[in-house]
Structure 1
């Protein structure tokens, strides 16, 4: 799997978790927000590796 595909996949999954967490925002919603934050951090790390900065 190409790194660009990994970046897009993790960013989209993070966005999906964040949207789902906003609708729930109870006990499960906070854990979804934490998962979204983790996926956004992973996507940022992969993007940084793609750009070489």
Structure 2
């Protein structure tokens, strides 16, 4: 599998797909890194769901 070179935030993927961010978040709950879904941990309690290019394509 090729290395991940870029990720898109869940908000950006929702915009790209024309879908609701909350709906997309519900789908992401059952996804794993192998599916292209990652959790990005920031400072403190800041956690963002992100998708690789593979997962963000319709």
Q: TM-score range by the shorter chain?
A: under 0.3
Of structures 1 and 2, the one scoring higher in RCO (CA 8 A, sep 6+) is 1
Normalized per residue, the structure richer in helix is: 1
- TM, length-normalised to structure 2: 0.26
Structure of higher CA gyration radius: 1
